[in-house]
Amino acid sequence: MYRVGRHCFATIEAATDYQMSLVVPTVTADGSLVHPVKQGDTWTHAGQPVHLSFGTCDPQADLAAGMQVAGIIIMLFAVAWSFRFLMRFIQTLPERGNESD
């Protein structure tokens, strides 16, 4: 699989089509319009063929990384809640000691 930004594509052609569709046409100093053009399976830009390379995409590895980050955040919340609970318990100890008098 091929990665373009946050998106994964099964084929290099689909990834290339997506990437080239994001290229904004520009007007040069002499007033000509420069934009990408697909001729058959080949993309050209300003008359030059475009050859792109993409990173690999592994959705399961992304899921595992997301689960790891979520686990850390949940543990931090649990530690913060436990600390808050312990602080409240410690603050009520003097009050409990006075009740027995």
Residue 93, domain extent: 59-101
What's the length of the chain? 101
Contact 2, 56 (CB under 8 A): yes
Provide the domain count of the chain: 2
Contact at 8 Å (CB) between 76 and 54? Answer: no
- Both 21 and 46 in one domain: the answer is yes
Asked whether residue 15 falls in the same domain as residue 36, the answer is yes
Does residue 49 sit in the same domain as residue 86? no
Q: Which two tokens stand for residue 16?
A: 């290339």
pLDDT given at position 52: 87
Same domain flag for 82 and 43: no
Write the CB contacts of 26 (distance below 8 Å, at least 6 apart in sequence): 33, 34, 35
- Residue 23 and residue 69 share a domain: no
Strand partners, 48: 45
Residue 97's pLDDT is what?
Answer: 60
Q: What is the pLDDT along the chain (101 residues), one digit of tens a residue?
A: 888 888 888 888 888 888 888 888 888 888 888 888 888 888 888 888 888 888 888 888 889 999 999 999 999 999 999 999 999 888 887 766 666 55
The confidence score (pLDDT) of residue 1 equals: 87
Backbone angles phi, psi at 33, to 5 degrees: -90, 125
pLDDT for the residue numbered 98: 63
| Co-location of 41 and 19 in the same domain | yes
